[in-house]
Structure 1
Amino acid sequence: MLKIWGRMSSLNVRKVVVAAQEIGLPFERVDAGAAFGIVRTPDYLAKNPNALVPVIEDDQVQLWESNVIVRYLCARHSADTVYPLYPLALPARFDAERWMDWQQTTLNPAGRDAFVQWIRTPAERRDAAAIA
């Protein structure tokens, strides 16, 4: 069974969980990162030397980096279905990949500081400039 390492407060973990749910894959999720710890243990560092979430274990495959994981899950588990989650035709496939990479490199960094301040920082310690 697919195992997803990471906490649901991580946008990147949620991305992987949603992909697995859309494909209809059963999975086990293990809380890791932030307050849950685990990511600095030798066992976890063997899975991801960056000490970040998410990581998946799918049979003998271990992967980290959310977009790579989503691409892998789609290629392995939904490519042969009537409605694959990931486009197979090259123009559509690379259009999807462009948006996935844009989300990771442009959209996420633009909103990261505001998200951390609003969601993860107690009100009395929030930096109004970071939210603006």
Structure 2
Amino acid sequence: MAASVSPVGGKMASLVQYVVLRGDLRREPFLWPLGALVAQAVHAALAAVHEHRRQPQTEEYLAQGGRMRTVVLEAPDEYALSALTESLQQNGIDHKVWVEQPENIATCVALRPYPKETVHHLLKKFKLLK
């Protein structure tokens, strides 16, 4: 399968799936355990890939096997996650908001795989999850 070509200079594009998880869920008043937070990110990432599985970039990303690149970022709270979702919608970026049930809490946003150059500018204010 051919690699994606970046619109900038015709260079090979690095496909990456970004996942943005709410950091406040691990602090008071929520205190969610680490496993629950990891599950939120996994659910969102899988849902985004499944929903956009027929996109050529998603197919190419999945074909990479052990070379897939995923970046997990932290949104400070629900407001920041909501603002990100709005920005992604305005920019036509395919994504999935994971809403945990039955609590009905938006916990995570995952983008389908994109070339880093296409979406990084929308995510640069978020830090890596620690």
TM-score bracket, normalised by the shorter chain, equals under 0.3
Report which of the two has the higher share of strand: 2
TM-score (normalised: structure 2)? 0.25
Higher relative contact order (CA 8 A, sep 6+): 2
TM-score (normalised: structure 1)? 0.25
Report which of the two has the higher share of helix: 1
